[in-house]
A and B are shown apart, each in its own frame.
Chain A
Amino acid sequence: MSLQASNRPTESEAQVDLLESFRALYRIRHFERLVKREFEQGNIPGFTHLYLGQEAVAVAACAHLDERDYLVSNHRGHGHALARGCDLVAIFAEILGRAGGLCKGKGGSMHLADAVRGFLGCNGIVGAGAPLAVGAALTAKRRGEGGVSVAFLGDGASNEGVVFESLNLAVVLRLPVVFLFENNQYGEATPARYAVGAESIAERAAGFGLKATRFDGTDYLTAHATLGEIIHYVRESGAPACVEADVVRFEGHYVGDSQRYRSKRDVAAAQAERDPVARLEQLILERGVGEADALAAVRAAVEKEVEGAYLTARRQPFPEPAELFRDIYATDVGGPILPRGRSLGQGEVVP
């Protein structure tokens, strides 16, 4: 695996609009920086896991997906939602628990979802997205329109039993699903080199009978090419595949993690050498696709867009109290039907 991208564009690379890709990466970058800042100031409730350092993977994957396709994300999913094109204000509003959030404020940072974009949601249960993606692939297969589904999973998730089951099920049923493992070297505080018993996640997955590859997920063009090839393979063959993207988690597991288990020097070195945003910037300059001021203009425009969206989201109201009881069921209700309209757990409580 070479970390240095070649200077001459290949044929498939020539298709890539580098400046637009940079815009997409930088949108995630700035979004997450803002979330970190606002979280630290106490303006964002709950738990939040940043995608900083992994931006190239989501953007490259989504570059090959269309409206036939499904995505399932994990707890570190802001970047996945942004790359899929979910509305910026609605994502912020969701993270802030506001009425206009993607999920009306009932999901939060760990549960962004967007049905119209086939985005079946982030998931707070590590590994749980894998079987959901298998099921979505079953639907895609029955539709027969060439749709695929992609599960974004971490290195930590790769050790979950349900993920192993899902790899096998996808092979047995021959379903068009891509298991995309973003190996950011840690599951919380535990290094993948400790917790993944095999040489690599991809190699272990290959043992299930899937096509599996590993690539440098900090290099946008490599990510774009590898994911393009894999997604094309899955779409054409209808068979599942596994990809392992090597990336670096720039921040702690969650905002507020003091990271005593990680050397500051390693983190600084990784940020200097394996920053997908900086690497793409450098490539753009080297290839002469854009000048420094063009990049600066993109950055300024993105920052304005993201900051503006955040302010718009913050002005939104919180959900009204009746929302507590909505969206539990599609038809009628569950739970005890009590006499004379009394409701469970609420009967005697006077607000």
Chain B
Amino acid sequence: MKSIREVINEVLHAEMARDEAIVVLGEDVAGGMTTEGAGGFGGAFGFYSGLYERFGSERVIDCPISEASFVGAAVGAAMTGLRPVIDLQFFDFMTVCYDQLANQMAKLRYMTGGQFKLPLVMISLVGAGLRAGAQHSQSLHPPVVALPGLKVVTAADAYDAKGLLSAAIRDDDPVIFLLHKTLLEEKAEVPEEDYQIPFGEARFLAEGDDVTVVATLAMRRKAEAACARLAAEAGIAADLIDPRTLSPLDVEAIAESVEVTGRLLIVDESTPCCGIAQEIASAVAQHCFEWLRAPIRVLSTPFTPVPFSPALEDLYLPTERQIENSVRALLADESASVLR
């Protein structure tokens, strides 16, 4: 059993040993530069432990706290032949380098008629639950999913994290690789050998004909528990789908499930406006309307900033119980059956 944090570190070690073009850029990815403790930090979450000691300061590069410049530099380095891995600690900080994401990283290949490849990966954390307050708890994946040119990957367990990060690093396009900060220590069975999970292939965590539940990151973990209970207590069988990559997004797999179940619940932690849940709902409504037996349900956070107080943050986050109740309500809802 290995944690997400452990496999991220292992993949980085293995990939950097395999490919000399890989460099790591970020704040404190080594730590302690110019002191005797140089390298003793390994990134804010330990993803980069031991890399500085093993690969040196030419490849594990501590940057000043200036995200716009080092994210932009990673883009320039990728255009000229390196394969940068960028650490962006908290994805809330994407706002201070959004030009580099939206106008540079996402578009330079297209604007130059395909003259450049941009093989880079940005690793960052999203999500609430750690009482980190409104600027360290957001799920800001929608603004990057909206950008043609970027690929956006999420990993909710160590198995996915290993295969998806390895694939991301080997991919020739810019990949935003998002982890949930409450899941880093979650352990799972992980094969020893090296493997890559292809992008655009949703994962089915449970299979059933009654209802389709789509959930991402921490919400997937809650949905796993909720679906297990629904099966055990009420005999409700759900297709539980984690899209894993949000761009490309495997709507096809979701649609195939909805064709059987006729009922769709989507659970995601971003705000309830312009999010991935809304994107999936819209695609299913446009393309699979005739299969639906009930209106699509979306369970997301409320339209508020993430609150700090534990009492409020617990209220803010969708719970296992809410997922269960949503599934039950969806199954009881026959309002669209007339369409069939």
Complex contact A125–B248 (CB within 8 A):
no
Interface range on chain B: under 10, 10 to 19, 20 to 34, or 35 or more? 35 or more
Asked if A172 meets B64 with Cβ closer than 8 Å, knowing A131-B76, A329-B149, A334-B148, the reply is yes
Complex contact A120–B80 (CB within 8 A):
yes
163-201 of chain A: CB within 8 A of chain B: 165-166, 168-169, 172-173
Complex contact A331–B82 (CB within 8 A):
no
Complex contact A131–B249 (CB within 8 A):
no
Complex contact B287–A338 (CB within 8 A):
yes
Complex contact B256–A105 (CB within 8 A):
no
Bound-complex Cα distance A169 to B114 (A): 28
- The interface residues of chain B, by DSSP majority, are classed as mixed
Report if B61 contacts A (CB, 8 A).
yes
Bound-complex Cα distance A106 to B116 (A): 13
User: Which residues of the partner chain B approach A107 to less than 8 Å between Cβ atoms?
Assistant: 111-113
Asked if A330 meets B173 with Cβ closer than 8 Å, knowing A166-B72, A336-B279, A337-B248, the reply is yes
Complex contact B114–A131 (CB within 8 A):
no
Asked if A331 meets B70 with Cβ closer than 8 Å, knowing A111-B112, A342-B287, the reply is no
Asked if A334 meets B115 with Cβ closer than 8 Å, knowing A125-B99, A131-B76, A172-B63, the reply is no
Complex contact A162–B80 (CB within 8 A):
no
Report if B200 contacts A (CB, 8 A).
yes
Closest A residue, CB atoms, query B116: A115
How many whole Å from A125's CB to the nearest CB in chain B? Answer: 5
* Cβ contacts A94-130/B at 8 Å (1 or 0 each): 0000000111111100010111001011011100101
Can you list 24 A-B pairs, Cβ within 8 angstroms, ordered by A? A70-B76, A102-B112, A106-B110, A106-B111, A106-B112, A115-B112, A115-B116, A121-B111, A123-B104, A130-B69, A131-B71, A131-B76, A135-B80, A136-B77, A149-B76, A169-B63, A173-B61, A330-B173, A333-B248, A334-B248, A335-B249, A337-B248, A338-B287, A342-B287
New contact pairs (18) apart from A169-B64, A334-B152, CB-CB < 8 Å: A102-B112, A103-B111, A104-B113, A107-B113, A111-B111, A113-B111, A131-B68, A131-B72, A131-B76, A135-B73, A135-B78, A135-B79, A135-B82, A169-B66, A169-B73, A173-B61, A335-B248, A337-B248
Residues of A near any B CB (own CB < 8 A): 70, 72, 101-107, 111, 113-115, 118, 120-121, 123-125, 128, 130-140, 142-143, 149, 161-162, 165-166, 168-169, 172-173, 326-340, 342, 344, 347
